[in-house]
Amino acid sequence: MDIFNSEYLQIALAFISALILFLYAIDTLSKEFQELASNKFREILGKLAKNKYTATLFGAILTALMQSSTAVGVMTILLVNTGVISFHNSLGIIFGSNIGTTVTAQLVLLDSSILAPILMTLGLLLGAVSKKTKMISKPIFHIGFLLLSLSLISSTIEPLKNSPEVMNMFSNLSNPIFAYLVSAIFTALIHSSSVTTGIIVILAQNGLIPIEVSIPMVLGANVGTNITSLITAVKLNLFAKRVAVADFLFDAIGTLVFMFLIKPFSFSMQYLSPDPGVQTALAHLIFNVIGTLIFLTFSKSFEKLVISLVRGNEEEILFKTKYLTKNEKGKPKKRIKNIKMEITYSIENTIKLYQKALSIFYNPNDTTQMEISKFETLNDYLDDEITRSILELTKVKLCPRDAHATVILIKISNTIEQLGDLGNDFSRVFLRMHKMGMSNKEVNIEKLTDIYNRLIELFREIEKNIIDTDERRLSLIKTKEEEITSLINEQFDIHVLRLQKEAKYDGTIFVDAISIIESSVYKVRSIRKLLLKQIREYCQ
């Protein structure tokens, strides 16, 4: 076949142009829906994901709208990595996204000659009507644009179905396993199973490939789309990696089972429709629906399988309150108690942050740094939620003691958030040490650990007094504060003397570290004084 023949060249150029429009339409549509994914959207997603069935439905709808299971998969991985949803709750979204990705194959079957211009015109008009309708105008326009590009692809390759040279070229894909692998690799390269399945259905519809080839190819496309998710998760936390592996295993296990049954499965599709394009699109839909139902039924076993394959002791840090709820009702006394409990939870996270920060001295790995960042951000989030809950409480009439307590609790929560910032600074001291190439021996880690342990003990003591404030225990905390401050001042004096006597002595890392501990002690002192003021003025 002369590839430079003008007829084939014109068809190739037209096909490439239509394909570029299709890729652009899918990419733009995906971005439009991602822009709609605001903080409110993430909050809704967190609620829906708590139930695996609603999560599956949501995953299917979201993927159908975004026209990209890859985009939804990557977004889910990132949301798990940042702690918006848990690994356990992400599985439903992953299962559902595989159903949603079948929509493109169904869209190919539509007669878009009328529907595409209607949607594009509607989108254009909605954009000009008002600001309220402008939000949805672009997605509607680009769905119409997507249908138009699919129609163009179909019309450009229609002349090829009578070409013996082209038929001979596609006959090389007659081996189902080869067709499966080619489709998987192609999908991995373009990062979109929607594009691949759309093209496959068009090829089948135009008689260029038989059903025995098109079905293995759509199965291969399901596996190929997971490569992007696996690459995305490489540098993310343990739970994000588990989501990526779960997504891959879902398609890998499912497609391999169907590949063993490819002959009877392909034969059964021929009973549903005489059109090879319809048969291919239905096969894609049936495979994903059956696979989703099976995996939903055995979701607990599947989750255990993924955990056993992707092992690790990393703690899952989730951005949610432990004791507070939205629109909380009840008596002020009960609500104040819940706020105090949430503050103690914030202190627990602060302790974990400082523990992770000290571990950087021994092992400055990326995972620990990521955990520190998440704990610090979680502290910010909890402070915002505690403040929100207190402001909600102030909308009702309060007695003098409770009114004063709301002010005290806001100040305490803000101070704990600042402690989180100091904990992050504590880790950066050791990161700087490693970056400078300093040996661990150059830092008096025994003395530093002793002062650090006293600080952690101080945190735990102040945590106990948040719920059950006791003046005698607060006085003991004051004594411990003074002991730590005395130890730190002693080390500062030793540092000054060594600078005068030893030319090679540096000691800045050690001094920076204990300076941050000193600042942390001052923050604890502020909390202690606030608690003492509350108990002396209103709890006598």
User: Any idea where the domains of the chain sit in the sequence?
Assistant: 12-309, 332-538
Percent of the chain with pLDDT over 90: 23
pLDDT at 63 over 90: no
pLDDT at residue 34 is higher than 60? no
What is the C-alpha separation between 219 and 105, in angstroms, rounded? 13
Residues 228-252, mean pLDDT to the nearest whole number: 85
Over range 482-496, report the average pLDDT. Answer: 91
User: What is the radius of gyration, based on Cα positions, of the chain?
Assistant: 31
Greatest mean pLDDT among 5-14, 25-34, 75-84, 328-337: 328-337
pLDDT of residue 83: 79
Whole-number pLDDT of residue 35: 55
Q: Which of 57-61, 343-347, 413-417 has the lowest mean pLDDT?
A: 57-61
Mean of pLDDT values over 71-82? 76
> How many residues in the chain?
540
User: Residues 230, 245: contact at Cβ < 8 Å?
Assistant: yes
Give the mean model confidence (pLDDT) for residues 374-402. 87
Where is average pLDDT lowest: 90-94, 175-179, 201-205, 442-446? Answer: 201-205
Mean pLDDT, the chain, rounded, equals 81
Cβ(86)–Cβ(316) below 8 Å = yes
pLDDT tens by residue, 433-479: 888 888 777 788 899 999 999 999 999 999 999 988 888 899 999 99
Query: Mean pLDDT over residues 124-140, rounded?
Result: 73
**Furthest-apart CA pair in the chain: how many Å?**
98
> What per-residue confidence (pLDDT) applies to 132?
66
Query: Which has the minimum average pLDDT: 46-55, 145-154, 242-251, 464-473?
Result: 145-154
| Token pair 């629109």: residue | 327
The predicted pLDDT at position 536 comes to 79
Q: Which residue, among 389, 399, 427, has the nearest Cα to 520 in the 3D structure?
A: 427
Q: Give the whole-number percent of the chain exceeding pLDDT 70.
A: 80
Q: What is the DSSP letter of 500?
A: H
The predicted model gives 36-52 an average pLDDT of: 64
pLDDT of the residue at 101: 73
- More confidently predicted of 527 and 234: 527
pLDDT of residue 171: 52
Helix or strand or coil: residue 38? coil
The model's confidence at residue 41, banded by pLDDT at 50, 70 and 90, is: low
C-alpha to C-alpha distance for 168 and 477, rounded to whole angstroms: 85
The one-letter code for the residue type at 186 is F
Check residue 37 and give its pLDDT: 47
Residue 27 pLDDT greater than 80, yes or no: no
pLDDT (0 to 100) of residue 1 = 46
What CATH number does domain 332-538 carry, 1.20.58.220, 1.10.10.10, 3.40.50.300, 3.30.110.60? 1.20.58.220
Q: What is the pLDDT of residues 391-426, one digit of tens each?
A: 888 888 888 888 888 889 999 999 999 999 999 999
Distance of alpha carbon 215 from alpha carbon 401, whole angstroms? 71
Q: In one letter, which amino acid is 442?
A: E
Q: pLDDT tens digits for 264-294?
A: 888 888 777 788 878 888 888 888 888 889 9
Helix H segments across 319-444? 332-362, 366-393, 400-435
CA-to-CA distance for 256 and 294, rounded, in angstroms?
A: 14
**pLDDT band of 25, cuts 50, 70, 90:** low
Is the confidence at residue 74, as pLDDT, over 90? no
